[in-house]
Structure 1
Amino acid sequence: MADVRTYTLIYVVLLALGTGKFVFFTFDDIFTYQMAMAGTIILAVAKSLLIAGYYQHLLEEPRAITYMMGIAVFMVFLLTIAAGYSIQ
């Protein structure tokens, strides 16, 4: 199990990533809308991996559980894409 220092460091990184998403859309003279969206998606994936790895303790679990969680997330992604097409 990770110690308090590790959790504090992860929290600071998550705070910085959240601030980065704010910066993308605030400085619209530097970032286009497409760049801001792509950056936001990349930061969201990084935040999700940090949260799943450390706060949900997936790094300490057997690899089979990690793979099962990855497949579940992929299936949710596919369902989201399918729902988006059915709305149009």
Structure 2
Amino acid sequence: MTSTKLYTVIYVVLFVLATVQVLIEQAGFLEEAYWTAFVVIMVLSAVKALFVVGYYQHLKFEPRAVTLVVFAGLLGALALTAAAAYSIL
């Protein structure tokens, strides 16, 4: 069983990553260096997603096949998000 302390640390990490994403958007980097800001935000989103599925959805303790199926879905979602962002330009 995972401890409450670990869940708290993961929550704080997720909160900090989300704050960094908002600061990047609010700082105006999207107007100056759109693709750089976009890549940074996408990487941070992927890291957050890995924390969520790994610990809060307990995939860390599942068989590898289940984990691979979820990661394939994650890659598909990231690809669709990237395609949507590209089509806005």
Give the shorter-chain TM-score range.
Answer: 0.7 to 0.9
The structure with the larger Rg is 1
The 2-side partners of 1:53 and 1:34 are apart by 28
1:49 and 2:50 equivalent?
yes
Spell out the pairing of 1:1-88 with structure 2 (5 A cutoff). 1-28=1-28, 32-76=33-77, 80=80
Pair 45,7 (structure 1): closer, same or farther in 2 beyond 3 Å:
same
Distance 1:54 1:72, change over 3 A: same
Classify 1:52/1:25 alpha carbon distance in 2 versus 1 (closer, same or farther; 3 Å): same
SS in 2 for 1:2: coil
What residue identity is the alignment partner of 1:32? Answer: A
Paired amino acid for 2:50: L
- Taking only aligned residues, the RMSD between alpha carbons, in angstroms, comes to 2.7
Aligned counterparts of 2:33 and 2:77: Cα–Cα separation in 1: 29
Change in Cα spacing, 1:76 to 1:43, as seen in structure 2 (3 Å) is closer
Q: Can you give the 5+ residue segments of structure 2 that lack an aligned partner in the other structure?
A: none
TM-score when scaled to structure 1? 0.76
Q: Out of 4-13 and 68-77, give the one that drifted further.
A: 68-77
Q: 2: distance between equivalents of 1:36 and 1:58?
A: 29
Percent identity (aligned): 33
1:73 Cα offset (Å): 3.2
Asked if structure 2 preserves the Cα contact closer than 8 Å seen for 1:25 and 1:33, the reply is no
1:35 offset after TM fit, Å?
1.8
Q: How does the TM-score come out when normalised to structure 2?
A: 0.75
